[in-house]
C-alpha cells in the first residue's frame, strides 16, 4: 500500500471496484484537466496509449517538459507547464495552487528521502491543494481504463448478499 488505512469494496469487475474504493476515500473524478509528469522515458512510452485515451475522452493534458516532448513526438496533445523551481510561466505551482488541474499523475524516477526534487514538490503541493494524486504506473493505467468505462451514474450499490450468492 502507498497510503495508510484500508478500504474493502466490491464490484462486478476490477474497474468498478477500483472506482468505488477510490470514491470511498474522497477521490474526485477529474472534470477536464490532468497534469502528467512522468520520470522514466520507458514509463512515458508505456503510458502513451493511456494518455491518448484521455485526450480522446475530452481531457486536457498538462505536462512537464520531458513528458510534454514525448507526448508531442507521439501525436498526443498537451500543454507545457514549467517546473515548480523556475519562475517561468505558466508553471506547475500556479496550476496546482489555483486548482486548474483536477488530477496529478506523477510517476517519479525514484524516491530519495534526502533529496527535494521537482517531483517531490509537485506531489506535496497536490496533496496540500487536495488534488487527487496517482504515483503508481499500474494504478494510473487502471484508473484511465476505469474513467473510460464508468461514470458515477454507472455504479450500482448492492448488498453483500448480491455479491456472495
144 SS3 class? helix
Could you read off the pLDDT of 45-94 as tens digits, one per residue?
A: 999 999 999 999 999 999 999 999 999 999 999 999 998 777 788 899 99
Higher pLDDT, 153 or 56: 56
Peptide bond before residue 90 is cis, with ω within 30 degrees of 0 = yes
Specify the higher pLDDT residue, 139 or 114: 139
- How far CA 82 is from CA of 59, 65, 68, 88, 116, in Å, comes to 20, 7, 10, 6, 17
pLDDT (0 to 100) of residue 2: 57
Give the mean model confidence (pLDDT) for residues 154-163: 83
Residue 115, pLDDT > 60, answer yes
pLDDT tens-digit readout, 41-57: 999 999 999 999 999 99
**Per mean pLDDT, which range of 19-23, 25-29, 86-90 is the poorest?**
86-90
Scanning 37-132, the segments in alpha helix (DSSP H) are: 41-56, 65-73, 92-97, 118-128
Res 1: pLDDT: 47
Amino acid at each position: 500500500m502507498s497510503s495508510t488505512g484500508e478500504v474493502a469494496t466490491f464490484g462486478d469487475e476490477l474497474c468498478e471496484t477500483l472506482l468505488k474504493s477510490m470514491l470511498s476515500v474522497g477521490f474526485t473524478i477529474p472534470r477536464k484537466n490532468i497534469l502528467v509528469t512522468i520520470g522514466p522515458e520507458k514509463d512515458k512510452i508505456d503510458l502513451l496509449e493511456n494518455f491518448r485515451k484521455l485526450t480522446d475522452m475530452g481531457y486536457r493534458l498538462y505536462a512537464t517538459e520531458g513528458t510534454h516532448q514525448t507526448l508531442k513526438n507521439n501525436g498526443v496533445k498537451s500543454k507545457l507547464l514549467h517546473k515548480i523551481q523556475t519562475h517561468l510561466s505558466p508553471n506547475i505551482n500556479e496550476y496546482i495552487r489555483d486548482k486548474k488541474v483536477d488530477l496529478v499523475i506523477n510517476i517519479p524516477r525514484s524516491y530519495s528521502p534526502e533529496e527535494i526534487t521537482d517531483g517531490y514538490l509537485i506531489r506535496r503541493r497536490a496533496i496540500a491543494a487536495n488534488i487527487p494524486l496517482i504515483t503508481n504506473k499500474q494504478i494510473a493505467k487502471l484508473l484511465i481504463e476505469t474513467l473510460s468505462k464508468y461514470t458515477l451514474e454507472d455504479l450500482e450499490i448492492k448488498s453483500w448478499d448480491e455479491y456472495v450468492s
